[in-house]
Structure 1
Amino acid sequence: MLIRSLAVLTAVVALVVALSIRFLADGAIEQVSGTVLYASMVYAAVVFLLPRQPPWTSGAIAVAFCWAVEFSQLTGAPAYLSERSLVARLALGVQFDLIDVFWYPAGVVPLVLLHTLLASKRPSARGAVNDY
């Protein structure tokens, strides 16, 4: 239960920070921070949905998902959906940006490292109560 609670908290914090930056800044800072924080929210979602996965596996799934969404933008389908829905625009984006491909891991790797650190602090004795 603890890991899922932390995943939700992480997603909420990332969303608040992303929206704050969007409100206060523009240009490259807004673009890069949005990409990094989007990846952080995806990682939090993966951990929430698959809490028993090791952190590096969750990180790989999150980055792969982000890359799949980014490369799907080459098809035009996300742009089409984004014209009709704000949720689709926020979740799928509009147009492909190769730079985003490199920024997604920057949003995931710090969380993977933190998750690994927290997991190593958890009691691992046989019979310990599982906190998922």
Structure 2
Amino acid sequence: MSITTGWTRLLMVVSAAGCACAAYAIRAAMDGPIEQYSGAAFSGAIVYTIVLFIRPQISPLTAGIVAIAYCWLIEFAQLTPLPGALSQRSWFVRQLLGAQFDLTDVAWYPIGIIPLAAAHWYVRASRRTRTNPVAAESQSHSMD
């Protein structure tokens, strides 16, 4: 495992913990749509960090697609009775699977994922520029 991979994984653990803390802080302080929508957005962000933890070298676009697809899969699975039944047995499972389908959540997952994918893209692009400024300069001229 390279140093970059190790640091990426550590950053993803810290990011996921920060997203979870923010989501629970909002839930404790507020009630209503902001609490619900931010929870879905932060859940999407946490899934994105898990994708990067598992595959640190993945592209931002691929990571975003995987994270959104996973979130939507879990949300649409809530149309079946299985997640609800499992969620009644365990608080932890309820946090992972949810309890009931909400179409609004489908829209809010990408809102939590897209900013992370954009930041991921920016970091990768700036790292490429620092490590190979000549190639980055020639690429920018070819785009003109």
Q: TM-score, normalised by structure 2?
A: 0.84
Matched, 1:80 2:65: no
The answer for unaligned runs of 5 or more in structure 1 is 126-132
Q: Measure how far apart 1:52 and its partner are.
A: 1.4
The answer for unaligned runs of 5 or more in structure 2 is 1-5, 133-144
1:8-32 superposed Cα distances (whole Å, 9 cap, x missing partner) = 1210110110010011001101100
Among 119, 122, 126, which residue is 2:124 paired with? 119
Matched, 1:31 2:36: yes
Q: Over aligned residue pairs, what C-alpha RMSD do you find?
A: 1.0
Q: Measure how far apart 1:108 and its partner are.
A: 0.3
Q: Name which structure has the greater RCO, CA cutoff 8 Å, separation 6+.
A: 1
1:25-56 superposed Cα distances (whole Å, 9 cap, x missing partner) = 01101100000000000000000001111011
4+ long deviations beyond 6 Å:
none
2:90 & 2:55 partners in 1: Cα distance? 28
Identical counterparts, % of pairs: 42
1:59-100 superposed Cα distances (whole Å, 9 cap, x missing partner) = 100000000000000001110000001111001001101111
More helix, by proportion: 2
2:40 & 2:23 partners in 1: Cα distance? 9
Is the partner of 2:100 in helix, strand or coil?
A: coil
1:51 counterpart residue number: 56
Q: Measure how far apart 1:2 and its partner are.
A: 2.2
1:97 counterpart residue number: 102
2:17 counterpart residue number: 12
Instruction: Give the letter aligned to residue 12 of structure 1.
Output: A
